[in-house]
Amino acid sequence: MSRSIIDHLWLVPAAPFVVSLVILSLANSLRKSAAALAVAGQLAALGMSAVAFLPTLRGDGFRATHNFAWFAFGEQTLRLGFMLDPLGAAMLLMICVVGLCIFVFSVGYMAKDKNFVRFFAYLSFFSGAMLGLVIANSLLLLFIFWELVGLASYLLIGFWIERPGAAEAAKKAFITTRIGDMGFFLGLLWLYDRSGTLLFYDGGRGCLEPAGLAMLGGSATLIALLIFFGAAGKSGQFPLHVWLPDAMEGPTPVSALIHAATMVAAGVFLVARVYPLFSLGALNGVTPSLTVVVWVGVTTALMAALIAIAQTDIKRVLAYSTVSQLGLMMVSLGVGGVAAGIMHLLAHGFFKALLFLGAGSVIHGCHGEQDIRKMGGLRRSMPATFATYAVGMMALSGVPLFFSGGWTKEEMLHVAANWPRSRAPYYLIAIGVILTALYMTRQVIYVFLGSRRAAAEHAHESPPVMTVPLVALAFCSVFFGVVLTPAWPWLHGYLTGESVRFDPARLIQPMFFISLSLVAAGIGLGAWMYRKAGAQDGDRAAEIDPLEYAQPALFRFLANRMWIDELYGRTIVAFAWASARMSDWLDRRFWDGLPRGLGAVGRLLSIFATGVDERGINAGVDETTVGARGLGRLLSLAQAGRIRVYLGVLALGAVALLLLYAWLA
Amino acid sequence: MTPTLQSFLIISAALFSIGLLAALSRRHAIFILIGIELMLAAANLNFIAFWRFRPQQESPVGVLIALFSIAIAAGEAAVGLALVIAVYRHYRTTNVDQLDQLKG
Amino acid sequence: MNSAAFVLISILTLGAALAAATLRKLMHAALCFALTFGGLAMFFLLLGAEFVGLALVFIYVGAVAVLIVFTILLTRRDAVKERRVHWAGAVIAVVAFGTLAWSILRTESVSVVAHRMPSLTVGRIGEALMTGYVWPLQCTGLLLTAALIGALVLVMEEKQ
Amino acid sequence: MSEFADQIFVNAKRAFLAPMAHLPGWLVQAASGLIDIFTLLAVFLTLFALVSVLERKILARIQNRYGPNRVGPFGLLQPVADGIKMLIKEDVVPARADKPVHFLAPILIAAAAILALGVIPYGRNMTPFSIDGGILFFFAVGSTTELAVFMAGWGSNNKFSMLGAMRAIAQMFSYELPLIVAVLPVVMVVGSLMPDRIVAAQGGYLFGFAPRWFVFTPWGFAAFIIFFVSGLVESNRTPFDVPEGESEIVAGHMTEYSGFKYATFFMAEYLGMFATSGLGITLFLGGWHAPLPFLEFIPSYVWFFVKLSALVFIYIWIRGTLPRTRIDQIMNFAWKFALPMSFACLVAAALWHYAGRGFSGWCWSLAMVGGVYTGLSFLLDTRRKFAPRVYRFAE
């Protein structure tokens, strides 16, 4: 049974891919059929992944693989494969459910867009690539889907090509993630060089199985770090996080699907997937690579949370919150709590998608206004959105006992607290939790509470096609908590393969109160700080952000995202410009001047020779003249723009190589 | 004395060099295409020759590769000539030395 | 395969190729180009690759050469002046030939004589194309379709 | 008796070659090749002469007049007179002509036509060069005709010649596609490109009397029609003689040719006609097989030439009957009807094969061909687009 399932697992990503191809070939006017097709494809994927989910339910770390040869060069073949294990299956389900909700939502959200059809083609394409990514059993296949996902994200961020901002953001996202992927690719090559295979699990010969890992030896750390560099690029960890907030230029469903729920989580997923690589040679759960992961995660979490406090764009706040949550996940992976990290990843997928869709609904209701200071009092005009948004907010800020987020936060704090190396990460992410609650409170107060301001005047509730997915996601983000509670940590057991039993006693633990107090502190602080924020227009206190009022410099620092973009602009980009200008100068002056000069010499020679010739010297000189002319012409031909010269140089190079080869052989 | 593989290779090398000559020493774009076609033809001759002279010919692989490369070369010629015509329409010339927009 | 035929065919082919590369008149060059491929086809027949030889004539003499002369016709108005010989090209070509010939001659393993072989029937080629090489075949078909469309788009009159 | 009559030429050749047995092999091959070539030339040049006069007579009958009837009995010696006239005529070469090209064009075109004749099986064991890729050889050689025509047009440096050549090549190219695709079903069904095999595959009789010629299957019939029409175009004959229509462009690519070169073109045209019909017979009309069992006693080559002359008569008949078509009509017909139709034949042949080559397959392929035919005729029906034609001065 499971055998046949794993053999046909490729159908799961195949369905959305096919759908996207079909939609791409549709005329721009067939909006309904495009949407219907996309949703149908997503439904099919959902059904299939549900089927694939069943066999993984029998605890004991189920894992099935299906490997096949892609192509052979020489005597060695390059093999790819699909795998099914609890991690992958859970991700499959999460992606399909969230994706489905978002597809439905975007039917309403994009209803007026002229490129509706293209949008759904891209969405399906992304969904297919993402599903493929989570079931890949080969680092190469994973990398391929990884790049496809990146492409989809690029296309969707820049979906509104007519907006320069969107185009810029798309380019930025693409290039920044490329930088990370370069590291990933190097790590991949190195891994292949060392272990001779890129399959994760291959009946004992895979690169994540003891035999394969043994072959890595000392290079494991560096390989792991390179791969983590890629992961950091994708899920916006500290050095490479700059693209993610800008990615909010894309349509909101895209932000929800790609830049909150699924794609940015791919980095975390990747780390979890190749975890054996990270934890290789760990002494009580600490390795250099994991330590790096922890600290990068901590930095990201705190920094992003701080920045989020000072953002005024409803989507940017969420974006930075995403970055910080991903940081938290990285931390808990780094400190050894893979299950905790993944649990938070799954839960976060649901409620962050919910929040983004809520934001989308708000923007839709406020006719495209995104500045939270211009909103307010929307709880009356958009009740459904408000209710669901509140659920999402509480889940994100980790209110315990009722919301999935709470349990995962608690779990993460727990694993961080038990990290042998140091307790600093624990305290820092505790602060992170407080900050999360703080900025979410701030946002909710600004958007929904208080009195209406400019943009909120004519706000209206969104159509059911948009609110129903919200409700569905809210439902998920509440009841997903059921499988997370320490009392019955079913998901934990499912992921780690341990058997679990029901035990209410474990429900109440010190950590429970700690996280409860942290969240309470955050929310309380927020409520106190922004108590005035809901006032009328023209009210001085409402115009200016309380934090700005108190600490202008700090606020500016945060509001400008700690000037990290500017920093990059001053350093890296400037350097790139400089080197470009430099090489340009070299081209024009040096490489071009050289042949010109030589050519001039040749010409001089020839002129001289003709001069002598004209004085009536015999034909021998004539020959030299011709030769010199030829030389001069030959050299002067070396200037750019002469296609034949390129060809000639090419031929000469080939000849040189041949000679070299013959000489060596 | 029957011709050996060597003689065929020499012939194809000569053909290749002639193609190179055509591509390098003429300014008319069509000559460059002709040269490229000649070089491809030389490559095909090599394929066939190697196939014919290898110890056992149970599989016609050389022939098949030659077939594919002929087909692709034909496509290449079609597109190339179309390019020549398009360039001619645009610049009113097919002299590759005058098509030097890339010059720095 | 006897060497007399070989010598004759090689003289024909190389002579035609040289003419195609160096003749002043474009049209003559194109016709010599066609002739070259005729000679090449004879080589293929000599080598027992009958099908490829015929296909070569069919494709090159029948299609590519005609395409070339048509292009010459359509771009006739611009008479590119081939004033002077380009020594550079000649030198490079000669050097390339020298290198290739030298490296071929110094390889003993290629101085082998062909032995009897069953002539390759079209049927076997067809089988191979339809079984082991069906994907390359499909890809080539796709490529040719793309080339066809691309060529059409390229030469389409751009309408203002 | 019939066996003897059937193989008489084969045996004659064998007997002729017998004394050379002790000579080296390639010499014997060369000798037999020469014999074949000379026989071919002799037979087909005679046939050409006969047909040229017969054509004129038949056209004359169609147009209600006597044809040539002065030279020799029934004017049968007319071609001799024409030949002499052509030979002694002055050979004019335009001053500004591209001389070598102008000179080579007729030679190439005639050579192509004669070569193409070489692979056709004229009778049992009577194939001059029986090679494995015969059909491909035929088309490969035939495709050089276009180059020759172009050379003629270009070489004689004349507006009309160039235009005529362009037209000729345009329509030849357009019809080469349907021509070859129409051949494919037969090749596919027989599984060989070798003319002898194809003829052999059409031997034998169904129910003891119905010949197994491919023309009697729906796909074969449709393919044969397409093949015939395309062949008509390939040989630039009426109603597709746009490239050399006297009333439009003097004589197309042959304008600047006179004397013997013109005669060569003329001959090449007829030889091409013979070759195309011969291939059609080989592919669809059962080659040299007798139509009915009890006619087996008549030698095979006789049957071949009977069929050949029948086809040639149809050529002449069409020429005498139909007016010249417009170039755009020709092109439309090629791309919009002939090509899809020939592909339909391909598919129909596949259906026929997979339905067991029996009656059911017959019906399947009939449905296929008929369906596509009706579909195309609905799609391409242009009558609705024009107002009914009124003849203002004709009445």
Q: What is the mean pLDDT of each run of 10 residues along chain A (665 residues)?
A: 75 89 83 88 90 78 80 78 86 89 87 86 91 89 91 88 85 87 90 84 80 79 89 84 82 83 86 86 79 89 86 86 89 86 87 88 81 77 85 84 80 84 85 87 82 71 83 84 74 75 72 82 83 59 64 73 73 77 75 74 79 63 70 62 73 86 77
**CATH number for the domain harbouring residue C45:** 1.20.120.1200
DSSP assignment string, chain B? ---BHHHHHHHHHHHHHHHHHHHHH--BHHHHHHHHHHHHHHHHHHHHHHHHHSS--SS-HHHHHHHHHHHHHHHHHHHHHHHHHHHHHHHS--BGGG--TT--
Q: What percent of chain D has pLDDT over 90?
A: 8
Average model confidence (pLDDT) for chain B?
83
Indicate the range of A404-408, A584-588, C127-131, D331-335 predicted with least confidence: A584-588
Q: What value does the mean pLDDT of chain D take?
A: 84
C18/B contact by beta carbon, under 8 A: yes
Both tokens of residue D123?
């009778």
For residue C8, being part of any structural domain is answered with yes
User: Is C68 in the same domain as C136?
Assistant: no
Using the beta-carbon criterion (under 8 Å), do C54 and D136 form an inter-chain contact? Answer: yes
Nearest-Cα distance to chain C for B74, in Å, is 7
Q: Which amino acid is at A28?
A: N
Does B45 touch chain C if contact means CB atoms closer than 8 Å?
A: yes
Q: Is residue C86 part of a domain?
A: no
Nearest residue to D164 (alpha-carbon basis) of D87, D252, D229, D234: D252
User: Distance, in angstroms, between C38 CA and closest chain B CA?
Assistant: 11
Same-domain pairing of C63 and C126:
no
Neighbours of chain B (3+ CB pairs under 8 A): A, C
Residues in CB range of D159: below 8 A, 6 or more apart:
none
- Minimal-distance CA residue of chain B relative to A652: B20
| Contact: C57, D131; criterion CB under 8 Å | no
**In terms of domains, do C62 and C6 share one?**
yes
> Do the Cβ atoms of A648 and C88 come within 8 Å?
yes
Over its C-alpha atoms, chain A yields an Rg (Å, rounded) of 30
Whether pLDDT at C41 is above 60: yes
Q: Do chains B and C touch (3 or more CB pairs under 8 A)?
A: yes
- Examine the domain organization and report whether C69 and C6 are in the same domain: yes
When mean pLDDT is compared across A401-405, B6-10, D281-285, the lowest value belongs to: A401-405
Strands D205-206 and A64-73, sheet pairing: unpaired
Q: Is B13 on the interface with A (CB under 8 A)?
A: no
Smallest CA–CA distance from C28 into chain D, residue: D101
pLDDT at D395 over 80: no
Whether C83 maps to a domain, the answer reads no
Chains contacting chain A through 3 or more C-beta pairs under 8 A: B, C
> Does any domain span residue C85?
no
Choose one of C25, C53, C78: the last residue of a domain: C78
pLDDT value of position A387: 87
Q: Do C72 and C6 fall within a single domain?
A: yes
Q: How far is C39 from chain B (nearest CA, A)?
A: 11
Question: C19, C47, C78 — which closes off a domain?
Answer: C78
Q: Identify all chain D residues contacting C74, using CB atoms and an 8 Å cutoff.
A: none
Report yes or no on C139 lying in a domain: yes
Q: At what angle do helices A116-135 and A31-53 cross, to 10 degrees?
A: 10
- In terms of average pLDDT, the best of A141-145, C42-46, C69-73, D198-202 is A141-145
Give CA torsion, residues D122, D125, D131, D135, to 10 deg: 30
Do chain B and A touch: 3 or more Cβ pairs under 8 angstroms? Answer: yes
| Alpha helices (H) along chain C | 3-22, 26-46, 50-56, 65-74, 87-105, 122-130, 134-155
Cβ(A66)–Cβ(A83) under 8 Å?
yes
pLDDT at B84: 86
For residue C73, being part of any structural domain is answered with yes
Q: Do chains A and C touch (3 or more CB pairs under 8 A)?
A: yes
User: Per the CB < 8 Å rule, is C59 touching B74?
Assistant: yes
Cβ C96–A654 below 8 Å, yes or no?
Answer: yes
First to last CA, chain C: 60
**Which of C2, C36, C50, C58 to mutate to probe the D interface, most D CBs <10 Å?**
C58
Say if B14 is an interface residue toward chain C (CB within 8 Å): yes
CB atoms within 10 A of CB D217: 26
Q: CB contact, 8 Å: B54 with chain C?
A: no
Chain B positions touching C125 (Cβ under 8 A) are 60, 63-64, 67
Look at C34 and D147 and tell me if their CB atoms are within 8 Å: yes
Residue numbers in B near A594 (CB within 8 A): none
- pLDDT at residue number A526: 82
Query: CA-to-CA distance for A338 and A343, rounded, in angstroms?
Result: 8
Read off the pLDDT of residues D15-69 as tens digits, 9 standing for 90 and up.
Answer: 888 787 777 777 788 888 888 888 888 888 888 888 888 888 888 888 888 888 8
Facing residue for B52 by CB, picked from C47, C56, C94: C47
Q: Which two tokens stand for residue A663?
A: 């000489």
Residue A644 has its nearest CB partner, among B96, B102, B103, at B96
Distance (Å) from the alpha carbon of B3 to chain A's nearest alpha carbon:
24
Indicate the SS3 state at residue C1.
coil
What would the mean pLDDT of B85-99 be, rounded to a whole number? 77
The pTM (predicted TM-score) of the whole model is 0.60
Give yes or no for C129 touching B (CB within 8 A): yes
The CA distance from D289 to D267, in Å, is 28
How far does B103 lie from chain C, in Å, by closest CA? 20
| Under 8 Å between Cβ of A493 and A499 | yes
Nearest to B23 among A592, A642, A647 (CB): A647
- C144 part of a folded domain: yes
In terms of residue numbers, what domain contains C13? 2-78
**Chain D touched by C96 (CB under 8 Å):** no
Q: Strand, helix or coil at A451? A: coil
CB-CB under 8 Å, B52 with C48: yes
Measured between CB atoms, which of B27, B57, B59 is closest to C82? B27
Q: Examine the pLDDT at D75 and tell me if it is beyond 60.
A: yes
CA distance C50 to chain A (A): 30
Look at residue A622 in the predicted model and tell me its pLDDT: 63
Q: Is the same domain home to C9 and C65? A: yes
Query: What is the reported pLDDT for B42?
Result: 92
Do the domain assignments include residue C11? yes
Q: What percent of chain D has pLDDT over 70?
A: 95
C73 and C12 fall within a common domain = yes
Q: Say if residue C79's pLDDT is above 70.
A: no
Q: Which of C31, C50, C57 sits opposite D131 (nearest CB)?
A: C50
Read off the DSSP letter of residue D211: E
Interface of C with D in 68-87 (CB under 8 A): 69-70, 73
Measure in Å the smallest separation between the Cα of C78 and chain B Cα atoms.
Answer: 6
Interface size C-D, in CB pairs within 8 Å, comes to 69
Alpha carbon distance A351, A310 (integer Å): 22
Count of domains for chain C: 2
Q: Burial level of C39, CB count in 10 A (0-12/13-18/19+)?
A: buried
Element spanning D381, H or E: none
Of C92, C103, C106, the CB nearest to A648: C92
Whether D393 has its CB under 8 Å from any CB of chain C: the answer is no
- Residue C25 contacts D, CB cutoff 8 Å: yes
Query: Is some CB atom of chain D closer than 8 A to the CB atom of C62?
Result: yes
pLDDT band for position D227 (50/70/90)? Answer: very high
Please state, in angstroms and rounded to a whole number, the distance separating the CA atoms of residues C47 and A414.
78
Domain boundary among C78, C105, C135: C78
Pair (C6, C74) in one structural domain: yes
Does C69 lie in the same domain as C17?
Answer: yes
- Report yes or no: D294 at the C interface, CB cutoff 8 Å: no
Q: How many CB atoms lie within 10 A of CB C110?
A: 18
Flag if C66 and D137 touch (Cβ within 8 Å).
Answer: no
B91: contact with C, CB 8 A cutoff: no
Q: Are B21 and C21 in contact (CB < 8 Å)?
A: yes
Q: Is the pLDDT of residue B102 over 70?
A: no
Q: Are residues C11 and C73 in the same domain?
A: yes
